[in-house]
């Protein structure tokens, strides 16, 4: 099921993602109404996902990244926030590491001109609080590996 969620999430993002692997993932799910209330819109009657990374509460749009960062301010393994449309919930994802491979086609060439900078941009989308541990260009693909800060373990959290 998580592979299907990842696939659906990836289809709608900017990059042509060839590979997205998450190690030891943890998912925290929230009702749409809780997201709106946490973000400052109380008793929202009209709530709907605007995209896989945004929610609309009474004509105010909120980034799910901001919601998750607010809910988990000290979580060092937070990677991303997204909408699970099938469950009608918002998901905050935590992980020890993320492996990402992006195709350097016309649409996504901007990530590939400078691999370190490209992985930095992709980190904001897929691996928010993890560090860039490795990046490389192989053929026409940008590969990024994100991991927890060196010296930390899940027990440190």
What pLDDT, in 10s, does the model give residues 48-103?
999 999 999 998 999 999 999 999 999 999 999 999 999 999 999 999 999 999 99
Sheet containing 141-147: which strands, arranged edge to edge? 17-23, 97-103, 141-147, 131-138
- What's this model's pTM, rounded to 2 decimal places? 0.80
Q: Which of 19-33, 107-121, 129-143 has the lowest mean pLDDT?
A: 107-121
Per this entry, what is the length of the chain? Answer: 157
Q: How far apart are CA 55 and CA 61, in angstroms?
A: 6
Please report, for the chain, how many H helices and E strands are present, in that order.
5, 10
What is the Cα gyration radius of the chain? 16
Q: What is the pLDDT of residue 150?
A: 67
pLDDT tens digits for range 109-118: 888 889 999 9
């Amino acid at each position: 099921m998580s592979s299907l969620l990842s696939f659906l999430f990836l289809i709608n993002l900017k990059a042509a993602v060839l590979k997205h692997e998450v190690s030891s993932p943890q998912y925290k799910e929230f009702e749409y109404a809780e997201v709106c209330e946490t973000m400052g819109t109380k008793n929202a009657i009209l709530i709907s996902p605007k995209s896989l990374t945004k929610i609309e509460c009474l004509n105010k749009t909120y980034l799910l990244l901001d919601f998750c960062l607010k809910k988990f301010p000290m979580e060092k393994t937070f990677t991303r926030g997204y909408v699970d449309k099938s469950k009608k919930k918002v998901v905050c994802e935590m992980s020890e590491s993320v492996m990402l491979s992006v195709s350097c086609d016309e649409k996504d060439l901007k990530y590939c001109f400078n691999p370190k900078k490209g992985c930095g941009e992709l980190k904001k989308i897929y691996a928010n609080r993890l560090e860039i541990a490795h990046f490389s260009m192989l053929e026409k693909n940008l590969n990024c590996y994100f991991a927890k800060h060196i010296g930390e373990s899940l027990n440190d959290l």
